[in-house]
Homo-oligomer: A and B are copies of this chain.
């Protein structure tokens, strides 16, 4: 491959494209247009997206909603995405490959903007549960508040 290409060239795009294909292949999944586009959209948007938000960004590709939901589910099960439930009555999805560090969110109750918060529960909470005989412990923590812009 030439090393004198402009970064915006088709070949550069193609290289970028190959990264997503590789992610899928590493997880033992077929690289299909829908999957590649979905990962691209979620990789670009930082933060958890609703299916509605995802849909608006899926320009240039046609797909069935059943395939979309199935694909989101499969990608989440494979660890490419992570499912986020903020108690809104629907699931949000976040690109997880780079963001595989555990984190929590605040959502503005007015504008619905979501931010990451830089803290997690003290380890003693899970230790208490372990001592009580619980195993495979996971938790969910999120904040609802009026953000500075909406106050």
Contact = CB atoms under 8 A, between A and B. Distances in A.
Interface of A: 85, 87, 106, 109, 117-119, 121-122, 124-126, 128-129, 132-148, 151
Given A122-B122, A139-B143, A141-B139, A128 B133 contact: no
A39 to B, nearest CB: 24
Contact of A140 (B119, B125, B141): B141
24 contacts: A85-B87, A87-B87, A117-B125, A117-B129, A119-B124, A119-B125, A121-B121, A121-B141, A122-B122, A125-B143, A129-B143, A129-B145, A132-B148, A134-B143, A134-B148, A135-B145, A135-B146, A137-B145, A138-B143, A140-B140, A140-B141, A140-B142, A140-B143, A141-B141
A13 to B, nearest CB: 38
Nearest to A126: B143
A148 B136 CA distance: 11
Contacts of A142: 139-140
Nearest to A122: B122
Given A140-B140, A141-B141, A151 B129 contact: no
